[in-house]
Amino acid sequence: MLEVQNLCASYGLIAVLHNVSFHVKPDEIVTLLGSNGAGKSTALKTIQGILKPTSGKILFQGKDITGWPPHKTVEAGVIHIPEGHRVFPYLTVKENLLIGAYPGNSWKNRKDHMEWVMTIFPKLKERQNQEARLLSGGEQQMLTIARGLMTNPKFIMVDEPSVGLAPVIVEGLFEALAKLRDQGITILLPEQNALRALQLADRGYVMQDGRIVLEGKSEELMQSDIVKKAYLGG
């Protein structure tokens, strides 16, 4: 589904990604583990086209999308859901969702897509006529993910969905991501909650200082001394 080859990216003169390579197969959840500043969000921004790479390749379904503008990657089926609960606060839940339905044929199918995302996140159906600012943090995160799903994507990148949320809310979000995988959505999941991410994901990669330093199946990474020490409390 996605293949990143020797990707390098910089902010001005500051190099952030150093020859990063990883891949995501169809119908997988793959997690990117790493501390703040490891380069996880930069990798997502570069894949989406928000940040232009200095070298390397990004292939999506075998097609070279390196350096494509963000709107073009969205139309190809790649959706980046950034960290934080980024909603339009004074629009209703329903209006926020409709904003996500602009590319390709999404607008034409907006009613079907809205019905679908509300089955994934039933709380949004209950709150559909409320302004987004009145939602809890967890509900706003659900809305952010659901808005991305309104494009009917093939592949979503969900950046740090658990940040700032209570454990019970995180559990509900991760259950929703598992449902999406079961329905054929491929997911790349950068996450600091390493244990929960590895319990959900099929495979994972560990990033440090803008480099991939470890990769493997989730159960293998949970047994790794590096992962145990750095992310699982010993």
Domains and CATH numbers, the chain: 1-77+154-165+186-234 (3.40.50.300), 85-153 (no CATH)
- Of the ranges 9-18, 19-28, 101-110, 212-221, which one carries the lowest mean pLDDT score? 101-110
Q: Considering Cα of 175, then 176, then 179, then 185, what sign does the dihedral take?
A: negative
Q: Is 71 exposed, middle or buried (0-12, 13-18, 19+ CB in 10 A)?
A: exposed
The arrangement of strands across the sheet holding 186-191 comes to 78-81, 155-158, 186-191, 29-33, 203-208, 211-217
User: Contact, 157 vs 78, CB < 8 A?
Assistant: yes
> Between these two residues, 16 and 106, which has the higher pLDDT value?
16
Q: Is 36 left (phi over 0), alpha (psi -120 to 50) or beta?
A: beta
Question: Do 64 and 58 meet the contact criterion of CB atoms below 8 Å apart?
Answer: yes
Q: Is the pLDDT of residue 234 over 70?
A: no
Nearest to 76 by CA among 131, 152, 7, 150: 152
> What are 155's strand-pairing partners?
78, 186
Tens of pLDDT, residue by residue over 79-104, are 999 887 789 999 999 999 999 998 77
Q: Are 115 and 167 in contact (CB under 8 A)?
A: no
Cβ atoms within 10 Å, residue 231: 21
Report how far residue 39's alpha carbon sits from residue 183's, in angstroms, rounded to the nearest whole number.
29
118-159 confidence digits (pLDDT tens): 999 999 999 999 999 999 888 999 999 999 999 889 899 999
| Residue of 4, 50, 42 lying closest to 210 (CA atoms) | 42
Q: What is the pLDDT of residues 32-74, one digit of tens each?
A: 998 888 899 999 999 999 999 999 999 999 999 999 999 999 9
Query: Model confidence at 192, in pLDDT bands (50, 70, 90)?
Result: confident
